[in-house]
Structure 1
């Protein structure tokens, strides 16, 4: 069995991105990032259209694609894995979100291929929610015992710290939007 080599950066999509998704995807392509299509609140037909368009772009650019929750859609679109699958992952590798010790241990026990530990820092996505902080996030990453990616409030300064904390990389939304706005 070969071990998947994961990119060190991940673009997590969602509805808040609106049309800014496409420049962020261009930037992700420039950097060889992975992409996880989430768009949970989008109605099914619209989600299918967005996910198909993102999948086509990922395949053209050689980017690793993950699809959140829906293993049937993930398989149909040639995704490398399903993120937080609802029910079975249908034999696809899967990733998990990790917010606490129980989730970290469950990811390890259930055989997750990778995890996203969040929120490491305060984030606009979850205003008022407490951040884990670097020490606790690193502890959860170790408990998961698979490649762990930091998510939540990640900026350039944080990106430089993450390898020292034991993270394989980072994931975000706002960081990609900010990078896409840079010349």
Structure 2
């Protein structure tokens, strides 16, 4: 674990969550209980995600994205064990059947599947449902979500590498117009995380940066 990097990310995530807790949703409903920090898994970039999940601060969340991997159930069970030990949240990407098998806390939807949110929310009102968004148009249609994950805030890798970064100002403007709480994702690390304080984000999300900060030293 990179203690300095981890401390910065967790400190900023908690500040964002605390500040966002004082803001009401657009529809007047109370804010859901959301983790300040979300670790997104990726089969290529986070090959042993349960090791990082086991080192996250208590109350953090994990978004398990298996992308159809053959070992999805095995990996998911390890993540479920790790998140339970840390009092954390486990969301499963796009696969409600796998979420059921893992006894997960909910699902995370890619932008292309956001229209499934109302149905999932009605079928499983106990679940937390988050979704990925990359534009103002998508962000305006997420009322059925508990939270949106907006990216990329900064220059990022992975699937967001081809997308231009929003920057803090544009990100903040989008957050202020959003009907639900919004996480900051994309290129966030210890060197720029504090720039997001005051942006209105409800927390931080990441893949490689969170693994580098909280994962094993040799990860």
Q: How does 1:75-90 map to 2 (within 5 A)?
A: 75-84=100-109, 87=116, 88-89=119-120, 90=123
Q: Does the C-alpha gap of structure 1 residues 134 and 61 become closer, same or farther in structure 2, counting only changes over 3 Å? A: same
> How far, CA to CA, are the matches of 2:100 and 2:178 in structure 1?
25
Q: How does 1:16-35 map to 2 (within 5 A)?
A: 16-28=44-56, 30-35=57-62
Q: RMSD of aligned C-alpha atoms?
A: 2.3
Which of 57-66 and 15-24 deviates more?
A: 15-24
User: What's the secondary structure of 2:54's corresponding residue?
Assistant: helix
Pick the structure with more helix per residue: 1
Deviation of 1:141 (Å): 2.1
Structure 1 residue runs of 5 or longer lacking an equivalent are none
TM-score, normalised by the number of residues in structure 2:
0.72
TM-score, normalised by the number of residues in structure 1:
0.85
What's 2:39 paired with?
Answer: 11
What's 1:146 paired with?
Answer: 180
Q: How does 1:41-120 map to 2 (within 5 A)?
A: 41-43=68-70, 46-84=71-109, 87=116, 88-89=119-120, 90-91=123-124, 92-108=127-143, 111-120=144-153
Structure 2 residue runs of 5 or longer lacking an equivalent are 1-28
1:122 aligns with 2:155: yes
Deviation of 1:41 (Å): 4.5
> How far, CA to CA, are the matches of 2:98 and 2:92 in structure 1?
7
Q: In 1, are the aligned partners of 2:131 and 2:147 still within 8 Å (CA)?
A: yes
Q: Does the C-alpha gap of structure 1 residues 64 and 18 become closer, same or farther in structure 2, counting only changes over 3 Å? A: closer
